[in-house]
Amino acid sequence: MLKKVVIVGGGTAGWMTASYLRSAFGDRISVTVVESKRIATIGVGEATFSTVRHFFEYLGLREEDWMPKCNATYKLGIRFENWRGKGHYFYHPFERLRVVDGFPLTDWWLHKKPSDRFDRDVFLMAAICDAERSPRYLDGRLFEQEYVEGREPGTSRTTLLDQGTQFPYAYHFDASLLAEFLAGYAKERGAAQVFDDVVDVGRDERGWITHVQTAEHGEIAGDLFIDCTGFRGLLINKTMEEPFISFQDMLPNDSAVALRVPVDMEKRGLRPCTTATAQDAGWIWTIPLFGRVGTGYVYAGDYCSPEEAERTLREFVGPEAEEAEANHIRMRIGRTRNPWVNNCVAIGLSCGFVEPLESTGIFFIQHGIEQLVKHFPAQEWDPELTASYNGVMADAIDGVREFLVLHYKGAARTDNAYWRDAKTRTMPEGLAERIEQWRSKPPTPNTVFPRYHGFEAYSYLAVLLGMGGLPVKATPALALMDDTAAEKEFQMLKDESLDLVKRLPSQYEYLAQMHV
């Protein structure tokens, strides 16, 4: 079996990988992280989606173990502002749709239109986010799911789409603090940390990596080398010469400017969601952490200069941004063709990145690590394992690309060249056909991107209905059906939302007790 794993690059990707591998394999392999002191982690506020809980559970970490140390907060979804016009917003939550008489509640909403707020009418999370509530009571209990799960058979014709309950939240956290925390976790479990710069990479006659040459520690040999060097792709792209596939023709946002803004969050309040506010050349993220706000403007360099972007961001934040130092980031949008080549595996930004609009950066890291463990090779290096891994990672990133393109195609904004051009850019193969299907029948699990990429049909429905730029029609059959059960469900969901808003504590109140 392989014994020595060398991870080049620390940060979130490197230390998530080291932690997971030590948890999975224990002392049966050695893990060494080679981390440069000169290359800092970007360290902006980081948002995730709900599958990230599996990572912490796998490591045996409770929320109270790591959240206070990383200034973490809860994220119940994403709030999109101004994507269809100034002043409009909607939520894409972590919440599967209820189904009435075989049709998701969104279909009934299109048929009945009980209000102009589809997200408040079909999801609980919209009201909880608006009221800045915690998903947990002060005693730690997760807010009730018995509204759907606890009904006795036969008392309601309502079920959940796709079966089971969507876990209701993810997290926001300080990426630098999480990397630091996980470094401590991994080192306590035997991982080695080498602070040094890689100055050369040794390879044998087959092109396989034998060692990395460091400036001060000499050669560090290994069996498997993991590239966590970010957009540089030091091992996978520069050493192994594996090409990078750009998505720039479909997703033109290639730059960002970020600020870490100190804020009195008790006074401001902690909205339990990421906010994505559309701008003239992209969008601004707002990520509330415990003690500060992480914010940044993701934009297309063809439509906006770095100076204009920073000025826009500072004006958006207001006086609190005056002393905040701006961090300008050039993003590489796309994916490495094959993230696993010979004995080198790319994880994180070196593998791929599809702008942070749906918080998929950490998801790609986690998915890459989990799949590496599932595909971990024996000494003979079965090429089928490598091919399978590369296919799984390509599918996930390509699927997210398609989902993000839908945001821009579906946004009703057409007030400048950036937003008008969004409607005419190249689309991934298959998306145009799917959009035509959705014009006649809203997305179902059978008509969205067919391979795993983290998003389900309800996410597509939320984006289509919220963005407002692509027409979506109700299923004609509903006009012939009795809508009594659907009307009852709309009222029940409204009552449940009001009840939860009354009983749940604020997010700040809940997290403050965790920091005591």
Q: How far apart are CA 299 and CA 232, in angstroms?
A: 20
Alpha-carbon span 57 to 293, nearest angstrom:
26
Which residue of the set 3, 37, 69, 75 is catalytic? 75
Query: Could you identify the residue written with the tokens 């999801």?
Result: 123
Token digits of residue 169: 């939240």
Distance CA 10, CA 59 (A): 18
The tokens describing 165, both together, are: 């309950």
How far apart (Å, rounded) are the C-alpha atoms in residues 113 and 95? 20
CA 385-223-348 angle, to 5 degrees, is 65
List, as one string, the DSSP characters of 217-265: TEEEE-SEEEE--GGG-IIIIIIS---EEE-TTT----EEEEEEEE--H
Q: Is 374 designated active site?
A: no
Closest C-alpha among 339, 371, 387 to residue 453: 371
CB 236 within 8 A of CB 202: no
d(CA 390, CA 373): 13
Residue with structure tokens 């909403």?
109
* 3-class secondary-structure state, position 298: strand
Strands (E), 101-197: 103-104, 158-160, 170-174, 192-195
DSSP code of residue 451: S
Any residues with CB less than 8 A from the CB of 323 and at least 6 apart, and which?
A: none
Smallest CA-to-CA distance from 272 within 514, 82, 510 is with: 510
Spatial separation of the C-alpha atoms in residues 301 and 195, rounded to whole Å: 34
* Strand, coil or helix: 55: helix
Give the chain's end-to-end CA distance (angstroms, integer): 46
Question: What residues are annotated to the active site?
Answer: 75
